[in-house]
Amino acid sequence: MHHNDNAPLVPIKGNPPILINLPDGCPFAPRCPVAVDHCHTREPALEVIDTIDQTVSHPDTAPGEAELVHSSACWRSGEIHGGEIDGKPVFPVPPRPASDIRETPRDERATTIKVDHLVKTFPLIKGALLKRRVGSVYAVDDISFDVRAGETLSIVGESGSGKSTTLLEIMAMSHDTVGEIELDGKRLKTLSRAQRRAERRNIQMVFQDPMGALDPRFTVYDIIAEPLHTLGFPRDGIEARVNELMNLVGLDPAHIDRFPGAFSGGQRQRIGIARALATNPKVLALDEPVSALDVSIQAGVINLLAELQAKLELSYLLVAHDLSVVRHISDRVAVLYLGGIVEIGDVDAVFDESRHPYTQALLSAIPIPDPTVERTRSRVVLKGDLPSPTDNEPGCRFASRYPLFQTLPEQDRARCLHETPALHGGEGADHLVACHFR
Ligand code: ADP
Ligand code: MG
């Protein structure tokens, strides 16, 4: 599979086996799409196939996962080459969900969320007994972007770069926001408190840890119905709506009276998504929505998000650290560094023609599912930790970590150190970069 393949990911059916009373056959057989009769009765031994050939030959192994010494415990390993049997993929990739909105050019689609010069600082407090404010943490430092209907903008960047703060600041819908936020064409600051409460239905959040986000004392019904009650949804319509939402996210409505603890991680994330969709929002803010899930479960949730987006023309503002996931489900990407966007644009432009050295360093950490490329490519290694986010002096915040900084001519170095680079890309450009020299 090519790493920028936008086709849906292929989930593996079922769940890993419980490690007691293991069946006699291959432990993967019940979930294997190419299992034959004797796979269910006799367990294959792990055998070395080759020491150089790296083609994938176990159906549970993704291309690129194979070790240098290649072994496989599969009765059919001799028939599987590069993830295919007889030239057909072991896990056939279903076609991407079609949608009218994706056919419409970007600038003809409605802008669902627009952020202009958003800033969020936290007070920096010192002192054990007498606490005093000694400065500010610039968690989000003057960022701007917009998201259109049916589109995903992903925010990527190291831990502490301000991704969650950006989402939470938008979700807060506060009168005190520094900068402007426009939701579905309305400037939030110009709205009254009651109007803002009504607008809340248009943006909902999905969190990383579905267990932490769902109250364990409430049934699934209560959890999904709660935003509907808050919104004043007609009481006699709530049960039907909850059933509809359960179906929408692939949960059995018969389980409506169960508690979150009775569901698996992937199912709990589906409950979280159903709850977020209850009010029929235009925008979902998703903070690491699949990071807490097993890899085999992630694909199912990611495909669900893609289907829902196509069906409901949703806008996603997504934070994810897995850059292959980001590439798979994003239309656009913003690279955040120390609270500021250093590069933004179409996901293919940013990933294939990245211009900011920070983006290049970030991307060089993605494993490429091709062993030859993976072994020969160069990695950019960033030295040092993030500089302190409390420093708000002019200058490029990346200069201190740029590996080639010392090789720049002296006047260029001075410019990096004393002049903050603005996002730029030329007349009408969509792909923007904040670097003086790119
Ligand atoms: P990310 O989600 O990208 O990992 P965050 O948005 O959580 O980053 O944090 C950005 C910066 O803001 C970090 O330096 C973090 O320490 C700081 N920060 C986040 N929340 C708070 C808070 N409630 N109080 C003080 N500092 C905070
Ligand atoms: Mg975060």
- What does the H/E/C string look like for 192-234? CHHHHHHHHHHEEEECCCHHHHCCCCCCHHHHHHHHHHHHCCC
Task: Tell me what pLDDT residue 297 has.
Answer: 81
Domain count, the chain: 3
> What lines the ligand 1 site, CB under 6 Å?
122, 137, 139, 157, 159-165, 389
Task: Tell me what pLDDT residue 186 has.
Answer: 95
Residues 246 and 292 placed together within one structural domain of the fold: yes
Residues 321 and 206 placed together within one structural domain of the fold: yes
Task: Tell me what pLDDT residue 377 has.
Answer: 55
Ligand nearest to the CA of 159: 1
Ligand nearest to the CA of 143: 1
Atom of ligand 1 nearest to the CA of 140: 10
Three-class SS state of 386: coil
Residues 337 and 403 placed together within one structural domain of the fold: no
**From atom 6 of ligand 1, which residue's Cα is the shortest distance away?**
162
Residues 105 and 84 placed together within one structural domain of the fold: no
| Intervals of the chain under pLDDT 70 | 1-23, 49-69, 82-83, 89, 91-96, 365-391
Contact 117, 159 (CB under 8 A): no
| DSSP assignment letter at 300 | H
**From atom 1 of ligand 1, which residue's Cα is the shortest distance away?**
160
In 3D, which of 354, 355, 285 has the Cα closest to residue 320?
Answer: 285
Quote the radius of gyration of the chain (alpha carbons, Å).
24
Three-class SS state of 302: helix
Taking a 5 Å cut-off on Cβ, the residues next to ion ligand 2 are 164
Tell me how far the alpha carbon of residue 335 lies from the centroid of ligand 2, in angstroms: 14
Tell me how far the alpha carbon of residue 165 lies from the centroid of ligand 1, in angstroms: 6
Q: How far apart are CA 335 and CA 350, in angstroms?
A: 9
Tell me how far the alpha carbon of residue 348 lies from the centroid of ligand 1, in angstroms: 29
- To the question of pTM greater than 0.75 for the whole model, the response is yes
Task: Tell me what pLDDT residue 325 has.
Answer: 85
Residue 358 lies in a domain: no
Token code pair at residue 98: 């079609």
Residue 359 lies in a domain: no
Pairing state of beta strands 70-72 and 340-346? unpaired
Pocket-testing residue among 119, 122, 163, ligand 1, by greatest number of atoms within 8 A of Cβ: 122
Residues 268 and 377 placed together within one structural domain of the fold: no
Question: Residue holding tokens 């709850």?
Answer: 275
Strand partners, 432: 344
Distances (CA, A) of 435 to 115, 288, 354, 397: 21, 28, 12, 10
Residue 438 lies in a domain: no
| DSSP assignment letter at 164 | H
Give CA angle at 29 (28, 31), nearest 5°. Answer: 75
Residues 339 and 375 placed together within one structural domain of the fold: no
